[in-house]
Amino acid sequence: MKFQNVQFITTVVQTDSLPFLRHLPEIAVVGRSNVGKSTLLNHLFGLKKSLVKVSSTPGKTRALNFFNVDEKYIFVDLPGYGYAAVSQQESQQWGQLIEHYLRERASLKVLLFLMDIRRQPTEEDMQMLQWIQHYQTQTLLVLTKIDKVSQSEKSSQTKRITDRIKGLPYVHYSSTKNEGRKELIALMRERLV
């Protein structure tokens, strides 16, 4: 993965609008609202100018956003979950869209499950993981915002999280400190062989 040519493809809000993308392998990114999905994608893509919209308001990603990377991979930014200011009806629509995508998308090969290292896994996180594992998608745990904790907090929080979320390969990530990008790319490559 070289990330030399990254292009936005489309935004999808309904299941019947999912694009056909020549069976390129897809890597989806999921996590709670405000976990840093957009920031991670921009950093991973190596972009100086943000292609993935980053908002100070949690819950802004309300659709599936598709990005083409080097005509070899598709990255999909899924809506964040767990944001209280969203109506129950809207939250339900996102859930149906995500579930349809996980269930029906044969080209989905890897899922990046993002967690803020400062937080504990919630019931919503665990439900999302059960859902993902039900569809047997290869999943990588990405612990974000590691620049916001000390080294000892990083160790203790990692243990707390991995005690609840067992068996997933994980990587620590900070776009601010430029940490974790190489490791995450290596883990994704292994799973896309």
| 159 inside domain | yes
| 166 inside domain | yes
Band (pLDDT 50/70/90 cuts) for residue 56 is very low
In the chain, how many domains are there?
1
Tell me the residue type at 49.
Answer: K
| 155 inside domain | yes
| 61 inside domain | yes
- Where does the chain show beta strands of DSSP type E? 6-12, 26-31, 64-69, 73-77, 108-116, 138-144, 170-172
| 98 inside domain | yes
Residues of the domain holding 133: 6-191
| 1 inside domain | no
| 157 inside domain | yes
Q: Which pLDDT tens digit goes with each residue over 130-172?
A: 988 888 899 999 999 999 999 999 999 999 999 999 999 999 9
Q: Write down the pLDDT at residue 85.
A: 54
Section 60-80 average pLDDT:
88
Is it the case that residue 191 has pLDDT exceeding 80?
Answer: yes
Band (pLDDT 50/70/90 cuts) for residue 91 is low
Residue-wise burial string across 53-82, b where 16 or more C-beta atoms lie within 10 A, e elsewhere: eeeeebbebbbbbbbbbeeebbbbbbbbbb
Band (pLDDT 50/70/90 cuts) for residue 52 is confident
| 69 inside domain | yes
Query: CATH number, domain at 170?
Result: 3.40.50.300
Band (pLDDT 50/70/90 cuts) for residue 57 is very low
CA nearest 46: which of 12, 75, 80?
A: 75
Q: Write down the pLDDT at residue 161.
A: 97
